[in-house]
Chain A
Amino acid sequence: MMFRIMAIVAGLGLALAATAEAQTPRKGGTIRMTAPYGSSFTSLDIHTTQRAQDEIYAKALHRSLYIWDSAEGKPVPELAKEVIVSGGGLVQTFKLRDDAYFHNGRKMTADDVIWSFNRIMDGAKAYPGARYVRIIEGAAALEKGQAKEISGLKKIDDFTVEMKLTEKVDPGFYFFTALTSIYPADEAAKDSFIQHPIGLGPFKFVEHVPGSRIVMERWDKFYKPGKPYADKVVVSIMAEAAARDVAFRNKEIDTSVLGPAQYVAYQADPNLKGTIAEVAEVFTRYMGMNPAFKPFADKRVRQAINYAIDTDLIINKLVKGKAYRATSWLPLTSPAYDKKMKPYAYDPAKAKQLLAEAGYPQGFEFEWTTSQNESWGLPIVAAVIPMLDKVGIKAKVKQVEAAVLAEVVRSGDYQAFIYSQQTGPDPQAALKCFHSSTPQSACNYMNFKNADFDKILDEAGQADDTAKRTQLLQKANALLYDEAPVWFFNYNKAVMAVQPWLHGIQLNATELTHQNVEDVWVDETSPAK
């Protein structure tokens, strides 16, 4: 429900919203998507990569136990027909589909699920999906080489798997990404698999031209009746926004992710305005403050920074409105977002007063580490510096490369940094980053420690009632707002241009480019028949 509201709020101005639903999906045609996050795909073995770029093609090729339902805003069972919860929420019994076929024609069974999870936990291979599978009892032991298989996974019969968890969590949030895709046990062990991947998705692999494109064609034995609609999916790698713009206008591609400048241009162009799809993604942009740096140890100083910055001005003028103002940590599309919360007001006088109360009437100086990112990096820092200067705070810029910033943030080797962090879709996991038991290197980048916060979050983790749990998470989120470990900047507004002949695009808040392509179809006006 929340997502439906968000879809309206986000202004899905597409003609497709109005017309697509009224039309019958057409069979055939080619979907021409773009992969904008780099000049290549990392690997055709999706277990090895957690880049958003790679999941774009993987959504067509592979399937996991769960799938993200954009309309509902939550993960729903995909390869499981039914999930039975027992053992106080710690035992999940998956009744698997008996009609899911791999692209080599073999039926998926419980053995494939168990084999895939065991593979992901191979400690010697360091598969990134291990972070999710580790929630299964005995998975960590396999990762450390202390066991030969995950003890918490048990085959009941060919189509039933029992999974014991180490914590009471919703496994859907752990097993919906392509990182935990189910592979065919016999084929995936072969060296040839990396060149010709086989999955359970609606499209099967045809061709990969490294650095250029991946082509996939319809898998006729896909388990959803009548789907997929299209004959073919082509995912073209297009890292340059300007080149995508030309190709989109030239009708050579069906989707194009837009940056701030193009967002403005497309809104102003009557021919393109109707092609814009936008959604609040589950990413929060912020300036993190290191409590080990003396001024930032004081809550009043951190609050003062929030009051000193005219955040709305920056979002409107610099980010060109391609962001939503952050009111705390959890983003707009989080199930635990509290719409009653208001952001810090722009109030330099209040900021000065708080600084004086904290013992810094003349302000202080700090070093601010940033990357060059146009939406949450150097340009933003440059705009904020004069605002902080007005209340006496001097910021010195330390510019580093994105890869270096990630290391700086995890090591705590900073006074302040500006960053974009995934804050969903699971609100519990997003807030757990601030739990005192979470190491700084994991995601507690501000080394936040607050006993009250821990208590509320622990209570939420134990709550069986969803409403009660949401209420507790909102309380924890409000506590973060007051503690202000960060300058709450914005939540990313993902924007994608979609050609009028492409229908069924989902407003996926986890990543807009990740589409369940079996639901997408092209009408007869597409140039790529």
Chain B
Amino acid sequence: MPMLSFLIRRLLQTIPTVLAVVLLVFVLFSVVPGSIASTMSDDVDPQVELRLKQQLGLNDPVYVRFGNYIAKLATGDFGTSFRTREPVTTMIAKRAWPTLQLIFTAMAFSVVVGVPLGFIAALRPGGLVDSAAMVVAVSGLSIAKFWLGLVLMYLFALKLGWLPSFGYGDGGLKYLLLPAVTLGVSPMALFARTTRAAVLEIMTADFVRTARSKGMSETRVVKWHVMRNALVIILTTVGLQFGGLMGQAVVVEKLFSWPGIGSLLVDSVLQRDIPAVQGSILVVVLAFLAINLLVDVLYGVIDPRIRYA
């Protein structure tokens, strides 16, 4: 029961966040100059432009447009794309799976490599492994994704011929690897640093010292005390990084011609396809909130002392 009431409370808390995002995006794109008509062509016909604006309701006052949008949104209707003239939900649905594939693979790569790297580094602080791990971590955080992506393309596609350099193909792993690694390097580095810092701090905590003084083996100390306590911090970072990855995916998707929500968002912004922009951002925000809610629930699973209060 506490879990259920916690979930309901948290879900209710997301409503103002979502509304604030919806309002902010709407207001931003109402004041930003340029319209879908001006992006259609360098020499769009003025009569067509006029009719298009009428058809799309762009000549209506902002409050009327916002009211119409909210009314539709309340029924789950994200509106119709100005560009493609198809429902925004359909457009997003077509892009959702490639984005999820990319983000979850990138996250899996970053966790599988970054967390053990940080752990190993923390167990021998100042040693060779620690220094090497931190060089990798700092580099990973510093490297621009665009540049890294190009280097990986050059190396694994052009020079070694192991992987295709671009595209979605059949959506299989060989097409997914390069974009996922490109996207995952930065969070991998962050996880390594966060894990190292968390483990180092926990290793000097009183309860660890107590465990050791009781004669508990180092393996058991690390496994039962250090790991579980570090997991809470790592989990928080993972949750936050999901949101970051969704934003960073924009660059990677464009570079690798990966058909996700990120590239949809970029084109929609550039072409002032306001319903598609609003829909894409809303989906990203909802996904971010959902993942963070899941993280909050997992806290209680990892550490029973954390109550759903």
Q: Which residues of A contact B (CB under 8 A)?
A: 38-40, 42-43, 45, 48-51, 123-128, 130-131, 134, 143, 194, 209-213, 236-240, 242-243, 246-247, 249-250, 252, 400-404, 406-407, 410, 419-422, 439, 441-443
Contact = CB atoms under 8 A, between A and B. Distances in A.
Among A143, A211, A249, find the residue whose CB has the most chain B CB atoms closer than 10 A: A211
Q: Which 6 A-B pairs have the closest CB atoms?
A: A403-B34, A211-B259, A131-B45, A126-B51, A126-B52, A39-B263
A209 B259 contact: yes
Interface string B252-273: 0111111110011011001110
B164 to A, nearest CB: 6
Given A38-B270, A43-B84, A404 B33 contact: yes
A246 B151 CA distance: 10
B120 to A, nearest CB: 34
Interface stretch (B13-21, B165-173, B238-246, B288-296): B165-173
Given A39-B266, A249-B158, A403-B35, 18 more contacts: A40-B263, A43-B84, A49-B83, A50-B40, A130-B48, A210-B94, A211-B264, A212-B168, A213-B167, A243-B257, A250-B158, A252-B157, A403-B33, A406-B38, A407-B34, A407-B35, A410-B38, A439-B46
Contact of A250 (B95, B157, B266): B157
Contacts of A134: 47
Contacts of A420: 42
B34 A131 contact: no
Nearest to B84: A43
B44 interface: yes
Interface string B50-76: 011011000000000000000000000
21 contacts: A39-B266, A45-B85, A124-B55, A131-B48, A210-B95, A211-B253, A211-B257, A211-B263, A212-B168, A212-B257, A236-B167, A242-B255, A250-B157, A252-B164, A252-B167, A401-B33, A403-B38, A406-B42, A407-B33, A421-B43, A441-B46
A246 B42 contact: no
Nearest to A195: B86
Given A40-B263, A246-B150, A442 B83 contact: no
B91 interface: yes
B213 interface: no
Contacts of A249: 158
Nearest to B164: A252
A212 B85 contact: no
A51 B40 contact: yes
B41 A125 contact: no
A194 B258 contact: no
Given A209-B259, A242-B150, A250-B158, A43 B95 contact: no
Among B38, B260, B271, find the residue whose CB has the most chain A CB atoms closer than 10 A: B38
B5 interface: no
Given A43-B83, A50-B41, A404-B33, A211 B258 contact: yes
B154 interface: yes
B253 A247 contact: no
Contacts of A246: 150, 153-154, 157-158, 165-166
B139 interface: no
Main secondary structure of the interface of A (DSSP, over half): loop
A163 B295 CA distance: 67
Contacts of A410: 38, 46
Contact of A128 (B44, B254, B260, B263): B44
Given A39-B263, A43-B85, A212-B257, A403 B270 contact: yes
A362 to B, nearest CB: 34
B166 A247 contact: yes
B256 to A, nearest CB: 7
Contacts of B158: 246, 249-250
A305 B46 CA distance: 30
Nearest to A122: B51
Contacts of A51: 40-41
A43 B164 CA distance: 27
Given A124-B55, A406-B34, A250 B165 contact: yes
B39 interface: yes
Contact of B258 (A48, A49, A124, A212): A212
B107 to A, nearest CB: 21
Contact of A401 (B34, B51, B166, B264): B34
Among A126, A247, A410, A443, find the residue whose CB has the most chain B CB atoms closer than 10 A: A126
A447 to B, nearest CB: 14
A243 B158 CA distance: 11
Contacts of A123: 51
B174 to A, nearest CB: 13
A365 B39 CA distance: 30
Nearest to A50: B41
A125 B55 contact: yes
A499 to B, nearest CB: 15
A97 to B, nearest CB: 29
Nearest to A211: B259
Contacts of A42: 83-84, 271
B168 A213 contact: yes
